[in-house]
């Protein structure tokens, strides 16, 4: 079965940005020590610390997103506790129970276009501790948010600070899943820098898989005290989750390249601009954008006929049904999206 020629199905449908492939080729014969103990990883970590303005941060490289969420959440959430997340959060919906597999409940808050609200988080915790039977319940033990969210929307700096404040007041570290962080950092209207994030979050990830790498997620423990510190023997915890890559330098090479001279942000900005063009074209043609989302994911609510017509010519991502019988579909852009592809898509619309 031949794939449709044109695809905006997701942001992980091509290999890596050419700079990464070239460097992998160039270093292919070099002998590195295993498991990330090599110089390239050290360099990549240092570049990330500098980009974060966080010289004390501790950086680790894992392979995939679900794996990373599972490993980090299991490490930072007490045994008697769960992780608080938006009902729409990746950890709640699309990780096949990977969080529960480590014994932790996902405690859900309502989402607002993918975002949780600091006041609702506060109220959740207040209600919890006011319950006479709270010791018989799952404690809120850590907070998970995604930036950009699963619906492509963003937290402002103020919103994220408010969430971190509430989290810390209730004894919880804040974990920001940055599987699509690049797209957030370079979106129109975004006011949250990487330095802000490293100051606000206790731990966050910088996604490579969906932002130009073959694979790889950088985990940054910001280590600014309080809830922000590397879990003890984290390497062993990573290994225990089957998440420690033997040829660890492959991750180092990729992140060292992405964080050399701003490549990571350039790639993301490129994809965002393509998405902006698609959004403009959709709006112009009267399509309904499902979310007001400025990043590389374009969500559109389609009736069955339009969906069928489009799907015959372009691969899209399926999201969810709506209450009124339509479907939320997604166009995704990435490092590999070309102007020509965008123009073909727009012509189809």
What lies within 8 Å, CB to CB, of 136 at 6+ separation is: none
The DSSP element (H or E) to which 332 belongs, if any, is strand 327-332
Residue 157 vs 168, nearer CB to its own copies: 168
In the complex, what is the shortest distance from the CB of residue 287 to its own copies, in angstroms, rounded to a whole number?
Answer: 20
**Tokens of residue 266, six digits:** 């350039």
Count CB-CB contacts under 10 A for residue 5: 10
DSSP 95-142: STTTTGGGT-PEEEE--BTTB--HHHHHHHHHHHHHSTTGGGSPEEEE
Residue 236 vs 283, nearer CB to its own copies: 236
In the complex, what is the shortest distance from the CB of residue 33 to its own copies, in angstroms, rounded to a whole number?
Answer: 7
Residue 12 vs 287, nearer CB to its own copies: 12
Cβ atoms of 300 and 327 within 8 Å: the answer is no
Residue 192 vs 298, nearer CB to its own copies: 298
In the complex, what is the shortest distance from the CB of residue 243 to its own copies, in angstroms, rounded to a whole number?
Answer: 6
Residue 129 vs 284, nearer CB to its own copies: 129
Phi/psi-derived region of residue 95, left when phi > 0, alpha when psi is between -120 and 50, beta in every other case: alpha
Residue 200 vs 328, nearer CB to its own copies: 328
In the complex, what is the shortest distance from the CB of residue 284 to its own copies, in angstroms, rounded to a whole number?
Answer: 26
In the complex, what is the shortest distance from the CB of residue 11 to its own copies, in angstroms, rounded to a whole number?
Answer: 9
**Tokens of residue 345, six digits:** 């898509």
In the complex, what is the shortest distance from the CB of residue 214 to its own copies, in angstroms, rounded to a whole number?
Answer: 6
The DSSP element (H or E) to which 204 belongs, if any, is strand 203-207
Beta bridge partners of 221: 58, 203
Task: Give how far Cα 14 sits from Cα of 84, 176, 227, Å.
Answer: 33, 25, 37
């Amino acid at each position: 079965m031949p794939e449709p020629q044109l695809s905006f199905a997701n942001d992980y449908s091509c290999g890596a940005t050419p700079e990464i492939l070239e460097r992998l080729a160039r270093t292919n014969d070099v002998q590195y020590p295993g498991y990330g103990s090599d110089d390239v990883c050290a360099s990549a970590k240092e570049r990330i610390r500098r980009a974060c303005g966080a010289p004390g941060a501790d950086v680790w490289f894992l392979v995939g997103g679900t794996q990373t969420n599972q490993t980090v959440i299991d490490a930072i959430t007490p045994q008697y506790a769960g992780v608080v997340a938006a009902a729409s959060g990746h950890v709640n919906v699309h990780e096949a129970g990977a969080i529960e597999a480590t014994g932790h409940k996902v405690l859900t808050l309502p989402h607002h276009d993918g975002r949780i609200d600091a006041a609702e988080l506060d109220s959740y915790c207040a209600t919890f501790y006011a319950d006479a039977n709270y010791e018989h319940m799952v404690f809120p033990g850590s907070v998970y948010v995604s930036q950009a969210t699963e619906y492509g929307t963003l937290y402002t700096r103020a919103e994220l600070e408010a969430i971190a404040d509430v989290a810390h007041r209730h004894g919880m570290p804040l974990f920001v899943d940055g599987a699509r962080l690049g797209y957030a950092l370079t979106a129109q209207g975004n006011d949250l820098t990487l330095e802000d994030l490293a100051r606000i979050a206790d731990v966050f990830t910088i996604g490579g898989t969906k932002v130009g790498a073959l694979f790889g997620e950088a985990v940054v423990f910001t280590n600014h005290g309080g809830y922000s510190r590397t879990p003890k023997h984290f390497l062993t915890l990573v290994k225990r989750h089957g998440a420690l890559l033997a040829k660890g330098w492959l991750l180092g090479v990729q992140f060292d390249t992405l964080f050399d001279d701003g490549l990571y942000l350039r790639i993301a900005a490129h994809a965002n601009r393509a998405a902006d063009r698609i959004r403009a074209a959709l709006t112009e043609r009267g399509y309904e954008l499902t979310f007001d989302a400025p990043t590389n994911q374009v969500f559109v609510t389609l009736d069955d006929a339009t969906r069928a017509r489009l799907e015959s010519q372009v691969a899209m991502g399926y999201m969810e049904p709506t209450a009124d019988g339509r479907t939320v579909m997604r166009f995704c852009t990435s490092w590999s999206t070309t102007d020509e592809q965008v123009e073909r898509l727009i012509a189809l619309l």
